[in-house]
């Protein structure tokens, strides 16, 4: 399967327990590192061109319904190569920073840095990528191309010398300018397009039909148990300590939307019992499949503001962690979830503790706007240190820039040409 | 909505008092809460409920978070107010999101913010005549000045209900189901009133709704609404001078201004009249468009003011109804009025292009009501107005309201006008509007005012 989907963007999660006496020192170090990322070129971030977004988050020690959780350090990254060559690259570029971070973790041995990181890597059952098959290098180059062309159009418009009385002449002018500026990459890059989904969709029908004698009874049994669970589970506890809740929200909103993009980290406990865990895993598997074959063109349904998002399962299948890198405001992000993706979110999070009550796995739940937002805020953890390789670009910008580049070499009819010209 | 609710809701939330053209707002800092409560107790009958129409004057009152504390609202009720209201409009994070940075920052404000006397309350005074208003304000000031400090704010009714840049204002306004039955654009009451059902189908949280009936502040928030007040100074000469420099043709300058607004000076929408201002147009058609026929923004630019403060069916990912439903989660009831003398008495663009500034300050006393500050007012300001990436744009803030240039990230000072075959782009658009003062208030129902004034005791 993995071969077939040709995962250009690889998700990285490295989760390590923190030495209890070092938690404070690590938090301070990450805060300082976070300031340094923004201030100047840092070898661990700016000088590596294979990662798009990455972050370190301290999951604080906590006591939940299902037991105690030690403090852990979670590293998330979204990369264009495989994990081992990425880790090798990080160590080669800036081993010292890694040592400075991981010396706060349990059983860390500076001489075994590489294997320590690889050993603590965990899998990603559900991964969503906004700009499929666009490497970080390509995204940055596409922005340079956009700037060059934008500047050219502005300059020619100011001097009144833009030949704009027919579309194809205009395009030729722009192509000539790119070539004259000694920019060659748009002409020798072949953009990998996501595979069309219909062969997969057609292929799956006979398989489903063939398996239906087994699948249908299984689903019926599963549904029976689901309803039983939903009816017997206690409704979520309404948190009445508003003052504490509001203080928590104020602290997690601090790192939101410094400019264009924001990270979100959310940690919840999975409901106890094998039934909920298996349901969750099946739902994540299905969503991952859908995001690979359908939602691979820059939009998750009608949401076009998510660069990368994932769910991972941690702590011996007891906790569910959601990580995302999105554009715009949190209110917009969560509003989109409620208006446009409530079904998928409810299918996942209704298997976790505290989520607004759902019925039939996918109904209600996230549509209860006030409780859903309160739940999302409550589960949120501060993102200690966060890096974006292209902080000034929205996902829509990334996709638009790519289409501009592709339009320099593609053959276009009149309508496509007029659409292409509207991209500036 | 039943009659009991209507007689409980303060009138300005539901009605703009179009028949009362003169208004003043008194920003209060309460020095002696007990004396103020006594005053409130005595003047409760003068506070205008929604059932009282055809009056020649009106009075409404609202409080800040600190004002409610100051008047003794207990912690268990107070903590149930929304986080945004309790924190106030000028926290560091909120200032960044709302664009109150640089010259808009709260340290430069004339009122409100941290450094000045704490704002506790606001009295909204309206009258049919100028003398009536002056009598009302004089009377209130006389009574209150012994135990409150008062910062009065004036308003100015402008020619043909325009705002200072010269454009007809308040053209598009949502209505409430069951109340504004004539409005084509009606939303559930819970979008604007606490304790009522919102568009999501859940009840908008109202402080005191979980108290026992015996609690003195039971249902305190019900029928109340959050009021956002922002004093926005407009650089009218700067606006027209910038446009004057963009073209040599007078028509073209006004055309560019209309592109920025999304409407012509008389209120006619570009969506219906893309090429020139119609001499006559039916005001009933002022809102009969939803942008669905203009997906590229060739008529009304994506970045224009009216498109980004109410995108209607712009969202291409959704069908028209869904898009409008999603946008309707972010609507506000606007009750603003201009202040200061206009640059030209009839606000004619052609005259304002050449007018010399007489040193007067002018702008808009922006007021709006909503039930969820984060989802409505703040959303509009953060996600639409001050978002350079709005709907696929790169570097365009709201041409009128945007706070620019931004100190970090994209500068936000472009204005893109979609055209065939290729766009026109205005560069280095300066900031035309500056925040001069702002505060969040809560406007309680009349029964909550009674609870607050302790009419049941002799305290």
Q: Render pLDDT for A62-73 as a digit per residue (tens, 0 to 9).
A: 998 889 999 999
- Using a CB–CB cutoff of 8 Å, tell me whether A302 touches chain B: yes
pLDDT of residue A3: 31
3-state secondary structure of B377: helix
As a whole number of angstroms, the distance between CA A255 and CA B13 comes to 35
**Mean pLDDT of all residues in B122-144:** 96
Cβ-Cβ contacts under 8 Å, A421 against chain B? 421-422
Cβ distance of B420 and A418 shorter than 8 Å: yes
As a whole number of angstroms, the distance between CA A309 and CA A302 comes to 15
**Mean pLDDT of all residues in A266-283:** 94
pLDDT above 60 for A275: yes
pLDDT above 50 for A412: yes
DSSP string of A52-99, one letter each residue: EEEEEEEE--EEETTEEE--EEEEEEEESS-HHHHHHHHHHHHHHHHH
**Mean pLDDT of all residues in B318-330:** 86
- Using a CB–CB cutoff of 8 Å, tell me whether A175 touches chain B: no
**pLDDT class of A248 with cuts at 50, 70, 90:** confident
pLDDT digits (tens, 9 = 90+) for B71-102: 999 999 999 999 999 999 999 989 999 999 99
Under a CB-based contact definition with an 8 Å cutoff, are residues A335 and A149 in contact? no
pLDDT of residue A133: 86
The 10 Å CB-count burial string (b at 16+, else e) for B230-261 is bbbbbbbbebbbbbeebeeeeeebbbbbbbbb
B7 vs B455 pLDDT, higher one: B7
pLDDT of residue A238: 62
pLDDT digits (tens, 9 = 90+) for A195-222: 777 777 788 888 888 888 888 989 999 9
CA B353 to chain centre: 27
Q: Over chain B, what is the mean pLDDT?
A: 93
**Mean pLDDT of all residues in A153-160:** 86
pLDDT above 70 for A1: no
Q: Which of A162, A242, A370 sits opposite B80 (nearest CB)?
A: A242
- How close, in Å, is residue A110 to chain B by CA atoms? 37
pLDDT of residue A237: 65
pLDDT above 70 for A4: no
Q: Over chain A, what is the mean pLDDT?
A: 88
Cα separations (Å) of B349 from B93, B218, B256, B399? Answer: 38, 53, 12, 17
pLDDT above 50 for A6: no
pLDDT digits (tens, 9 = 90+) for B185-198: 899 999 999 999 99
pLDDT of residue A239: 62
pLDDT above 70 for B422: yes
- How close, in Å, is residue B85 to chain A by CA atoms? 11
**Mean pLDDT of all residues in A381-400:** 94
- How close, in Å, is residue B410 to chain A by CA atoms? 6
A276 vs B456 pLDDT, higher one: A276
Tell me which residue of B178, B181, B159 sits closest to B169, measured CA to CA: B159
Q: What percent of chain B has pLDDT over 70?
A: 98
Q: Beta strands B186-187 and B175-176: pairing type?
A: parallel
- How close, in Å, is residue A43 to chain B by CA atoms? 21
Q: At A423, list the tokens.
A: 């991209």
Q: Which of B97, B318, B392 sits opposite A396 (nearest CB)?
A: B392
Cβ-Cβ contacts under 8 Å, A249 against chain B? 83
Could you tell me the pTM of the whole model? 0.93
pLDDT above 70 for B459: no
B231 vs A4 pLDDT, higher one: B231
Long-range contacts from A312-315, C-beta under 8 angstroms, 24+ separation:
A312/A13, A312/A122, A312/A123, A312/A124, A312/A125, A313/A125, A313/A270, A313/A280, A313/A281, A313/A284, A314/A15, A314/A72, A314/A122, A315/A69
Residue B314 has a CB neighbour count (10 Å cut-off) of: 23
Residue B41 has a CB neighbour count (10 Å cut-off) of: 17
pLDDT digits (tens, 9 = 90+) for A98-136: 999 999 999 999 999 999 999 999 999 999 999 888 999
């Amino acid at each position: 399967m993995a071969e077939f989907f040709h995962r250009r963007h690889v998700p990285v999660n490295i989760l390590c327990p923190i030495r209890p006496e070092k938690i404070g020192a690590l938090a301070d170090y990450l805060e300082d590192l976070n300031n340094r990322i923004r201030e100047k070129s840092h070898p661990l971030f700016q000088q590596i061109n294979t990662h798009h977004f990455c972050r370190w988050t301290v999951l604080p020690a906590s006591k939940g319904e299902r037991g105690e959780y030690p403090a852990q350090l979670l590293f998330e990254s979204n990369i264009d190569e495989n994990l081992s060559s990425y880790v090798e690259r990080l160590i080669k570029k800036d081993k010292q920073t890694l040592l400075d971070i991981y010396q706060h973790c349990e059983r860390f041995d500076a001489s075994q840095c590489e294997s320590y990181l690889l050993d603590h890597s965990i899998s990603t059952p559900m991964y969503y990528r906004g700009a499929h098959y666009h490497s970080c290098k390509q995204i940055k180059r596409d922005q340079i191309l956009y700037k060059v062309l934008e500047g050219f159009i502005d300059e020619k418009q100011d001097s009144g010398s833009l030949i704009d009385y027919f579309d194809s002449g205009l395009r030729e002018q722009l192509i000539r300018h790119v070539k004259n500026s000694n920019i060659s990459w748009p002409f020798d890059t072949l953009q990998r397009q996501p595979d069309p989904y219909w062969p997969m969709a057609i292929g799956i029908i006979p398989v489903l039909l063939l398996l239906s004698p087994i699948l249908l009874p299984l689903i019926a049994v599963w549904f029976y148990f689901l309803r039983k669970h939903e009816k017997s589970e206690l409704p979520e506890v309404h948190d009445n300590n508003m003052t504490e809740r509001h203080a928590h929200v104020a602290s997690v909103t601090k790192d939101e939307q410094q400019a264009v993009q924001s990270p979100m980290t959310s940690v919840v406990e999975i409901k106890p019992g094998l039934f909920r865990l298996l349901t969750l895993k099946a739902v994540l598997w299905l969503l991952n499949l859908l995001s690979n074959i359908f939602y691979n063109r820059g939009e998750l349904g009608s949401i076009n503001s998510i660069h990368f998002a994932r769910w991972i399962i941690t702590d011996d299948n007891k906790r569910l962690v959601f990580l995302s890198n999105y554009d715009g405001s949190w209110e917009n992000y969560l509003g989109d979830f409620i208006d446009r993706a409530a079904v998928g979110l409810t299918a996942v999070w209704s298997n976790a503790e505290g989520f607004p009550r759902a019925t039939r796995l996918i109904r209600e739940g996230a549509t209860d706007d006030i409780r859903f937002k309160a739940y999302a805020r409550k589960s949120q953890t501060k993102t200690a240190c966060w890096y974006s390789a292209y902080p000034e670009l929205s996902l829509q910008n990334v996709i638009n820039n790519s289409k501009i580049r592709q339009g320099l070499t593609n053959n276009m009819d009149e309508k496509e040409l007029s659409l292409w010209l509207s991209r500036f | 909505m039943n009659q009991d609710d209507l007689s409980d809701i303060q009138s300005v939330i539901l009605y703009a008092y179009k028949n009362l053209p003169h208004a003043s707002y008194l920003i209060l800092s309460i020095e002696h809460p007990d004396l103020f409560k006594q005053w409130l107790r005595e003047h409760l009958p003068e506070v205008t409920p929604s059932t009282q129409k055809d009056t020649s004057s009106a009075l409404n009152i609202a409080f800040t978070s600190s004002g409610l504390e100051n008047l003794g609202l207990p912690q268990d009720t107070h903590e149930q107010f929304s986080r945004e209201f309790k924190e106030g409009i000028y926290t560091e994070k909120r200032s960044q999101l709302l664009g109150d940075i640089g010259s808009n920052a709260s340290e430069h404000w004339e009122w409100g913010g941290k450094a000045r006397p704490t704002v506790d309350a606001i009295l909204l005074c309206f009258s049919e005549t100028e003398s009536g208003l002056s009598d009302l304000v004089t009377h209130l000031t006389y009574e209150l000045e012994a135990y409150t400090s008062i910062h009065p704010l004036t308003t100015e009714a402008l020619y043909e209900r325009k705002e200072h840049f010269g454009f007809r204002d308040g053209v598009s306004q949502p209505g409430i189901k069951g109340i504004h039955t004539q409005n084509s654009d009606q939303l559930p009451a819970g979008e604007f009133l606490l304790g009522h059902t919102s568009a999501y189908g859940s009840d908008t949280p109202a402080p005191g709704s979980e108290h026992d009936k015996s609690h003195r502040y039971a249902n305190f928030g019900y029928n109340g609404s959050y009021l956002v007040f922002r004093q926005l100074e407009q650089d009218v000469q700067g606006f027209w001078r910038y446009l004057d420099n963009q073209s040599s043709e007078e028509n073209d300058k006004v055309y560019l201004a209309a592109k920025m607004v999304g409407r012509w000076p008389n209120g006619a929408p570009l969506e219906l009249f893309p090429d020139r201002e119609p001499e006559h147009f039916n005001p009933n058609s002022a809102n009969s468009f939803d942008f669905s026929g203009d997906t590229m923004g060739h008529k009304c630019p994506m970045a224009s003011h009216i498109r980004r403060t109410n995108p209607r069916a712009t969202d291409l990912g959704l069908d028209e109804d869904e898009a409008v439903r999603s946008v309707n989660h972010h609507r506000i009831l606007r009750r603003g009025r201009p202040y200061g003398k206009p640059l030209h008495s009839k606000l004619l663009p052609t005259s304002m292009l050449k007018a010399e500034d007489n040193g007067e300050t002018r702008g808009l006393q922006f007021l709006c009501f909503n039930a969820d500050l984060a989802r409505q007012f703040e959303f509009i300001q953060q996600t639409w107005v001050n978002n350079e990436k709005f709907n696929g744009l790169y570097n365009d803030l709201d041409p009128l309201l945007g706070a620019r240039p931004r100190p970090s990230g994209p500068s936000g000072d472009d204005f893109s006008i979609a055209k065939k075959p290729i766009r026109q782009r205005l560069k280095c658009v300066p900031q035309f509007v500056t925040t001069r003062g702002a505060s969040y208030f809560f406007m309680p129902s009349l029964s909550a005012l009674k609870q607050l004034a302790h009419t049941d005791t002799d305290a």
